[in-house]
Structure 1
Amino acid sequence: MFSRLALRSVAARQSTPTALVARGSATEVSGLRDEKNFPRPVRGEPGKVRLGFIPEEWFQFFHAKTGVTGPYTFGVGLATYLFSKEIYVMEHEYYTGLSIFVMIYYASTKFGPKLAEFLDKEVDNVETNWNAGRLSTIKSLEDSIAGEKEAQWRAQGQELLIEAKKENVLLQLEAAYRERALTAYQEVKRRLDFQLEKTLLERRIAQKNMVDWIVANVTKAITPDQEKQAMDRCIADLAALAKN
């Protein structure tokens, strides 16, 4: 029963803690139990008595109709009627009973309060012992609920930690991807630069060879007379420039 109560209390705290209970009219109730319309039972206490054994309610019943002296008058009148009509015969057993009643009355007035106090203490001790087990069970259930909540809180923390680890792994994968992409870019650029340098070098070598071939062929084509004439023309041009 306490386990079901603990589960219901946890469910009630997680869900909406209010409900509508109809008893005469709809009322808003918080928690699992409507303490107002359905109070918890308590240990009954004995009511007040008069003359040691007559309930106070009897006197209140007569008081509303006959006043304060009504119940006493009724009791004395009833006894007088029983004795006068010999409905209740006062034989030797009557006087024995009267003597016993006097002794009981004396004992109750003499030792009654102490005995009542002792019995009240015993009843309170019994009730305390009974409630001790119930309260200890409730305390253990509350501790179990608190432990379960702490475990749930830790589980939520583990979920956050797992999410953080996943995010960290994703960041590492992103970093590795970027690093590999940079490596691929550098390798491709290096190879393209190599091809460009190779092409430029081949072009320079080809140009140099072409110039050397042209110069060599032109030089071979010039005769000594043409060379002499060209030399004389150059000297003449220099002389003319010098005069100017």
Structure 2
Amino acid sequence: MLSRLVIVSANALKGSSPLGAGLVQVSRCLHASPQSLSPVAPLPEKGGKVRHGIIPEELFQLLYPKTGVTGPYMLGTGLILYMLSKEIYVINHETFAAASIGAVIIYGIKKFGPSVAAFADKLNEDKVAKAQEVKDSAMTSLTQAIEDEKKEQWRVEGRSMLFDAKRNNVAMLLETNYRERIHMVTNEVKKRLDYQVALQDLQRRMAQEHMVNWVEKNVVSSITPQQEKESIAKCITDLKALAKTTQAKVAV
């Protein structure tokens, strides 16, 4: 019976404010059907309006078109009188105790409710701020990780160009080494050829000197003392004639 009452109330208040949404959610929870897993609208953070602390405003709005403004009050008064007249509920000492406790509770709620609510709201705001801070930190770290990943992908894309440059550098080094070795071989061959040329020049010069010395020795040995005296006298005569010619040129 209670579940049927909830279902009827939920269907009646389905198009109303947050209370209707709450009753619909309760009715869905009472029935284990596949619809219980369907997405529902999020519940509001604050409850709807109430009258006298506990009576929802939707109830007055529901009865207003049929009963007028005093309808809900007459309905509540009639139900109380009916329960008392039929002795469904009997007034005893527990009733006065419950009324006293209820009055104390209402007074405490009216007196300390706003400060407690503000304190609870402050705690909730602190928790939300901490959660937001953690979220922002996580978002920042994830954003940085994404940027780093994009940078690494960009580096990977440029890896082929880097490898090409390294291949070119290696090829240039090999070519340089090859040319250096060719130059070294050329220098070594040139040195050996220069050595052979110098050796041949030395042999030729030594042969010439030996020939000159041999010819000079033979010539000197073939000259007699008389020929030597005549050669010396002729040289002296030639020198004197040359001196006279030089003096004549100077005098002119």
TM-score, structure 2 length as denominator? 0.44
The structure with the greater share of residues assigned to strand is 1
TM-score by length of 1: 0.45
Bigger radius of gyration: 2
The answer to which structure has the higher helix fraction is 2
